[in-house]
Structures are given as structure tokens and as C-alpha cells.
Amino acid sequence: MPEAKKSSIPELAAIEIRSTTALKNYIDASRSLARDFAGELEWAAEDITAILTATGKGNPFLMGIDTKIRARRIAKYARRAAELQRGTAVEMVKLWQNFLIQFEPALAQRPKDKKPTFEFKE
């Protein structure tokens, strides 16, 4: 039996993946966290742009330099990270769909003579 996992994400660490229902719960929680994190990163990108643009006004070291363009360049990394998090949410949906396709025979009927280590049920 594997050792208990250590996680800094309590929402996911609390789910023990030992059944189809638990797997679905884990996927849903992961997807929700990824979407929430994407929103947070998108918000941070807007904040970064606004703060850096405002900082450049009146700063003698940035005189004559278009600080708005520089601020957007900096914030694009947070936007990219947000996009990657949205991609993570999409991949979690694909994980569930692929699970259903690959293990559909096991979901339809399972052998009664063995005790399964993973409980297949809808």
C-alpha cells in the first residue's frame, strides 16, 4: 500500500481515490481549483499592468519610456499562466472522459469472485 500522500492542497488531499465516485470528485475539485487559480492570475495581470503603468508616471528614471507597453510585457506572463491553468481544467475533463472510455467494460460488469482494489460503480 502506498504511503499517505503529502499535499499542500487540502481539498485534493482529503479525497482518497479508491472508487469511481472518488475519482470523479477528485477531478471536479481539481478542475474547480484550476479555474479559480486562472481567474486569480488574470486578476493579478490586470493589477500588475495598472500598478506598473501608474508607477511610471512622474518617475524620473522612466521618463520618455512608454511604461504602459513595458507593464503589459510584464503582465503577459501572468496571463500565460492563467491560460495554462484553464488548460489544466480542460485536461481534467479529458481525464474523466478517457477513464470512462478505457474502463467502460469494467464499469459495465465486474467479476464477483475477486475483491477489487478499485470499486467500479456509477
How do the pLDDT tens digits run along the chain, 122 residues long? Answer: 455 557 788 889 999 998 889 999 999 999 999 999 999 999 999 999 999 888 877 677 776 578 888 889 999 999 999 999 999 999 999 999 999 999 877 777 655 666 666 777 76
33 vs 103: CA distance, rounded Å? 26
pTM of the complete model beyond 0.95: no
- Residue linked to cell 467479476: 111
Give DSSP secondary structure letters for 19-44.
Answer: BHHHHHHHHHHHHHHHHHHHHHHHHH
Q: Which of 122, 117, 42 is nearest to 79 (CA)?
A: 42
